[in-house]
Homo-oligomer: A and B are copies of this chain.
Amino acid sequence: MYYGTDYYPEHWPRERWELDARLMREAGINLVRLAEFAWAQLEPAEDAYEFGWLDEAIALLSRHGIATVLGTPTATPPAWLCQRYPEVMRWDRDGRRVTFGMRRQYCPTSPTYREHTRRIVAAMAERYRGNTNVIAWQLDNEFGCHDSTRCYCPACQAAFQAWARERYGSLEALNDAWGAAFWSHVYTSWRQIPLPWSTAGVSNPCLELDFWRFASQQTVDYAQIQVDVLRSLCPNQMITTNLMGLGFRDIDYYDLTQPLDLVSWDNYPIYQGEREPAAAALSHALMRGYKQRPFWVMEQQAGPSGWQTMSRAPKPGQLRLWAYQGIAHGADAIVYFRWRTCPFNTEEYWHGILDHDGRPRRRYEEIRQMGQEIARFGERLVGTSSPKRVAILFSYNDSFAFRLQPNVAGFDYGRLLSDYYRALHDLNVPVDIVSPDAELGGYALVVAPTLHVLHADWADKLKDYVAGGGYLAVGARSGVKDLSNRVVQMPLPGLLAELCGIEVWEYDPLGREGTGGIRFEPRIAPIGGAECLVSMWCDILKPTSAEVVARYTSDYYAGEPAITQNAWGKGRAVYVGVIGDGALYEALARWWLNETGVQPLLSAPPQVEAVLRQGQDASYLFVLNHGAEHETVRLPYRGEDLVTQRLYEGEITLAPRQVLVLAVQGAQD
């Protein structure tokens, strides 16, 4: 298993490199990522390359048994390039050209920038294609970070006009798709099509959803340029790019990762406030879902983090715990960001394993401890898979559409997704996050928190899934929009109405301020009679063939159906007409487990997380105590803890932040 760190030899005197490599080796580190921001060092002046320092760094690290992932440095075009070719700079939504001084200042559409990209990537590829110490390439760095996905420059306007022409063929079709009949928005020339600059006010959501798709695609196309160069020159090296977690959703990662060998991402559990364990778990699951296989963590938080202000310090045990959580959820490599804290420029407070003074202290010791463990048993985990039981559907169309129109004040798509995920996660049920395009056949339960912008193909596919015996739950605001972000002109939930056996008769958009209540029908085991708060949204349902599962207890629609279940072929489809608080999702999860027979891995207190990875010969049950207290759990089967090499069974007690990695034979999927 790769156990690594992000290293910047260009920041330190050459005399220091040897000590760094030795300290790394002693910590069990066998991988570094190099050079992803080093364009200025690799090409100090146009067409004048300097690879010597990087050759030397790779070789020196290699002598300590440390392999290299090379980053293409395109996130940071150097000053000379930005000065000479100002057209490569991005424009912000206010129509202002971004100036030099941070990173990601480039427009991914710019033909000039694409040309320079081909040049620098090809130069690096030529240099390192034959270097066996270089095992993989990382494209650029955190595409889209710092709000850099959507550029509003003249080149982008022209490209968007061309993209629209390609998509719609005729202005008639475009005007129809964009509802241009409204407010005299009819376009009579492709040249009239604007970008949604801030000076346009609240923009047309049909146009703007297309602009977000276009912008996402510009980065995907831009990445493909790099992929093409690398594939042709370096056929034996893997290609990845480092993604960001659920909080970033400006680029369709299904598209972006399609041509890659490997998904990797950057995990900072306490960058802006400490997050609950389910938050990182969800992002791990999301990453696992992009290519439906294990992934890497390319940046794992190693200390207090932040730009002008820092987060709290990770508490003893957390750095190791977080890394094991990643492995439990499918990470085949952990790479800590960064080796040594940078003493200058923007990221002075983004702490690495070593402090600014380069001395090993508490954080180094903790990572070294884990490095020894990984060296011992990490390889057994690589390539093992996560059990396929429950799938939650995630869609970029919906994410984009709800950002443009939240429907009600305070609604957030990511929050809704998290609420559903957390309820299942906290019951220690394995959950995958997948695209509606994914194969759903193997899942006992499929949850669509919402399918707002609904592809007709998806509706058909879900019908097939249910007809074949699947159990589907669909949430409020599903089936509302067509692919053009227009509201469908049929009873809601539109193309899912028949499958769900209901019609949304009316809705009450509660929003952040509103509250209401529902009660589950008495017969609904194990939650019959339970009452839950609702907020944000109430659909008042009219069953056409569904049975009522829960009814409203408040307002003028008290007694009306809020949640229903409909038999369809061999399966069932649930419609959840409400958006609520945590207790609602916990009740739903308990009900669904009861209905589908899906078993939790473990019954455990809230701070204890149980996760399974399944291999050919053995499975590995991770039991992680995220809390600051001792916690007791009863193991369902016995297993040998790879960490302590002790055998555990029955009731056991976990110390604060303790990690068990139990090799178990008896675990059934």
Contact = CB atoms under 8 A, between A and B. Distances in A.
Contacts of A37: 182-184
A77 B511 contact: no
A344 B487 contact: yes
Interface in A87-107: 92, 94-103
Given A101-B196, A186-B78, A199-B97, A405 B343 contact: no
Interface in A4-40: 8, 10-11, 37-40
B408 A343 contact: no
Central interface residue in A10, A82, A506, by most chain B CB within 10 Å: A506
A11 B513 CA distance: 34
Nearest to A310: B509
Interface in A262-279: 273
A487 B345 CA distance: 9
Central interface residue in A37, A146, A187, A346, by most chain B CB within 10 Å: A346
Interface stretch (A356-364, A569-577, A638-646): A356-364
Interface string A174-202: 00001111111111110110111101111
Contact of A181 (B11, B98, B202): B11
A478 interface: no
A508 interface: yes
B199 A98 contact: yes
A261 interface: no
Nearest to A73: B184
Contact of A79 (B95, B186, B489): B186
Given A79-B187, A308-B405, A511-B312, A486 B344 contact: yes
Given A182-B342, A182-B347, A491 B359 contact: yes
Interface residues of A, number: 109
A201 B98 contact: yes
A52 to B, nearest CB: 16
A377 interface: no
A407 B309 contact: yes
Interface string A32-73: 000001111100110000000000000000000000000001
Contacts of A77: 184
Contact of A101 (B39, B194, B485): B194
A180 B484 contact: no
Contacts of A511: 309-312
A406 B309 CA distance: 6
Contacts of A357: 488-491
B345 A179 contact: yes
A204 interface: yes
Interface string A552-583: 00011000000000000000000000000000
Given A200-B98, A200-B102, A184 B406 contact: no
B506 A182 contact: no
Nearest to A80: B188
A315 interface: yes
Nearest to A347: B182
A92 B94 CA distance: 12
Contacts of A189: 79-80, 83
Contacts of A199: 92, 96-99
A185 B345 contact: yes
Contact of A197 (B76, B99, B273): B99
B405 A344 contact: no
A573 to B, nearest CB: 21
A353 interface: no
Contacts of A304: 507-509
A203 interface: yes
A161 interface: no
B206 A344 contact: yes
A341 interface: yes
A346 B204 contact: yes
Contacts of A556: 315-316
Q: What are the nearest 10 A-B pairs in CB distance?
A: A179-B344, A101-B200, A40-B184, A182-B345, A179-B345, A102-B201, A76-B184, A40-B186, A310-B509, A343-B487
26 contacts: A8-B181, A40-B184, A41-B184, A76-B184, A79-B186, A83-B189, A98-B200, A99-B197, A101-B204, A103-B183, A146-B201, A183-B345, A202-B308, A202-B346, A203-B346, A204-B345, A204-B346, A304-B508, A304-B509, A309-B405, A309-B509, A312-B514, A313-B506, A348-B487, A356-B489, A361-B506
Given A40-B185, A78-B186, A205-B348, 8 more contacts: A37-B184, A41-B184, A98-B200, A99-B197, A101-B196, A309-B409, A316-B556, A344-B484
Interface of A: 8, 10-11, 37-41, 44-45, 73, 76-80, 82-83, 92, 94-103, 146, 178-189, 191-192, 194-197, 199-207, 273, 304, 307-313, 315-316, 341-349, 356-359, 361-362, 404-409, 411, 484-491, 505-511, 513-514, 555-556
